[in-house]
Structure 1
């Protein structure tokens, strides 16, 4: 029995139905008696969940057990890239105008971030403290660059603000983190829609240029795992989707029927 796999896909079915229902309720949307779900969309959405999976606490679907270690490693690397992209975006927003045209500064800050964030997925890792350190180091690098150009260093208030914004990334519902996460999900989703992502990578959304190279490599590895998994377990997924989608459709018709009576 593929109970975990069924539950994993079922979750996506419900999410996609909810999304379609919300779309149908928006002004100007065409009314339809019942939203139809794409099995491919549902399955891809399920695969995207694996990039936010808690591999320490949550059991994997049975069909992905053999890929668990690789998926966990990719997810951990992706979290680090997300963090670097967040730090870069904050830096650009705050001091980008002063350091414009200096790609070497962005590279230095990226290297510092990558080194200090190494191992960030370990439970013993003090993320807030490390983000604070990266903020301080970033201020040092920015000031050094400004002074080399004969410009005044950042004042204490700006530096404190920058460090504070860095430290706040780890807080729940941080808007910068949410934005970067959505864009990475969008990128990965577009990857799964391509027939051959290795030959033609999708465009990287704004704010992710700083990690574009790493993201493309990681995305390619992720797409390979997903596509191979689809090939091996495709018939099982088709069977589960058939049952779930037919069941959802039947439920929808019953609801529609009862509401008209």
Structure 2
């Protein structure tokens, strides 16, 4: 382990070294994080490092090539030829163990790469049992017990593997054919190596956070040095947010946005800029460069947000007409929410799909309300049926009054989440958003994490842009003030 890695890992003896893990065939690269950071491609390295640190679910996965592809067919032919050749060698009289010895050496090397520093006794056992010189002597004298060696290998794998691999280890134990045994051992070892790499990434993530912030800044600066115009979209994005914030201030001079000097607060502009990303026009190609690595995550949150807004709108419309009668019924709200979520699933991409989904949803909600009223001995007048279906169908419009009202309330909730740094401390939500509080809190937490990490990393790049936008030219501070600006961004406080 390199000195940097030891320092990042805090010198812990319980963390394996990624540098000793050789990639199995068909598995993803498992180079150490430090070596990944040394590669020359700034953009790809920046994206990978960012993904590892921001995405807590990030993990390497074994790569599989579909057999239907040319690559898959070639790989299958080569692998089958190799194992068939090994089968012939072991079936000959006397058996030929030349290739089997090579495989045993690779198995030993792989098992050693999975050992932790504390596995002193197990390492000694590996050296003793899988002593290749001794095994060659046993082969020369016809005394090699391959099944005994395989049994030791499987027992060692059992002691090292994650619990999720236990069923696969048990399946290997049931095999009798030595070729099948070796083939499955290599397959499961490949999975174990991937598990170990993912464990190491998870273990090192807390230690690498601050280093990653500096690394992302450095790589982004290198990109900026090569392409000076790389911040143009970011500047336009912040300028648009500042203009919208100023419009709000002019309309409501008593708004809490500006500071005591009547200037917009940079953190308020930044928060609003990120809010705008949740309703970003997918046709707009001018996505801010500093947020490109999180675009997929923000798009996902945006789709989830729109679905929650529509769900809350349907609940509000239904409650406005029949809330006192049917919303008190046990299970009605839960069943209604399930129907809304199911019918709106995947309808966000095209306007026509959303119209069709809402039309169908209107009929479903009408049916559920009718059944609920019928269970109480009542009925739903035809006029009320038509009104409810029409109101729900009309939610496809972005400027629909109910949808706009719910959107503003959700927007206020998310802004409070950003300002308060915790969705749990945000103000109570009015009906019907209170019914969706858990989902909104989860969304707000995920959104806040992206925003705060982005501001921490790119604060030094945002600061000069915001200074030019928000301060009069004669009040612009000299360059040395940029350090204070950066600190303020990192702590979430005022920039100016």
Check the 8 A contact 1:20/1:35 in 2, yes or no.
no
Deviation at 1:249, TM superposition (A): 8.1
Superposition map of 1:176-215 within 5 A: 176-195=402-421, 197=422, 200-215=425-440
Residue number among 242, 248, 256 corresponding to 1:19 in the alignment: 248
Q: Which has the larger radius of gyration?
A: 2
Check the 8 A contact 1:64/1:229 in 2, yes or no.
yes
1:64-105: CA deviations, max 9, x gaps?
000000000110111111100000000000111221422511
Check the 8 A contact 1:51/1:75 in 2, yes or no.
yes
Superposition map of 1:154-193 within 5 A: 154-193=380-419
**Structure 2 portions without partners, runs of 5+:** 1-228, 476-496
Aligned twin of 2:235: 6
Instruction: Say which SS state the counterpart of residue 252 (structure 2) adopts.
Output: helix
Superposition map of 1:139-150 within 5 A: 139-149=366-376
Residue number among 311, 332, 356 corresponding to 1:105 in the alignment: 332
Q: Distance in 1 between matches of 2:351 and 2:402?
A: 24
2:416 maps to 1:224: no
Residue number among 256, 279, 282 corresponding to 1:55 in the alignment: 282
Q: Distance in 1 between matches of 2:349 and 2:444?
A: 23
Shifted more, 125-134 versus 213-222: the winner is 125-134
Q: Distance in 1 between matches of 2:412 and 2:446?
A: 16
Aligned twin of 1:253: none
Higher RCO (C-alpha 8 Å, min separation 6): 1
Deviation at 1:145, TM superposition (A): 1.5
Instruction: Say which SS state the counterpart of residue 40 (structure 1) adopts.
Output: helix
1:88-136: CA deviations, max 9, x gaps?
0000001112214225111111101100100012227522221121111
Instruction: Say which SS state the counterpart of residue 154 (structure 1) adopts.
Output: coil
Q: Distance in 1 between matches of 2:347 and 2:234?
A: 29
How many residues are paired up?
Answer: 243
Mark the CA change 1:103 to 1:190 in structure 2 (over 3 Å): closer, same or farther.
farther
Residue number among 351, 359, 364 corresponding to 1:132 in the alignment: 359
2:264 maps to 1:37: yes
Shifted more, 54-63 versus 219-228: the winner is 54-63
Aligned twin of 2:314: 87
**Structure 1 portions without partners, runs of 5+:** 27-32, 251-261
Instruction: Say which SS state the counterpart of residue 10 (structure 1) adopts.
Output: helix
Mark the CA change 1:136 to 1:222 in structure 2 (over 3 Å): closer, same or farther.
same
Q: Distance in 2 between matches of 1:158 and 1:22?
A: 39
Check the 8 A contact 1:168/1:174 in 2, yes or no.
yes
TM-score, normalization: structure 1?
0.86
- The root-mean-square deviation of aligned C-alpha atoms, in Å, is 2.3
Check the 8 A contact 2:241/2:270 in 1, yes or no.
yes
Q: Distance in 1 between matches of 2:471 and 2:329?
A: 56
Q: Distance in 1 between matches of 2:246 and 2:463?
A: 18
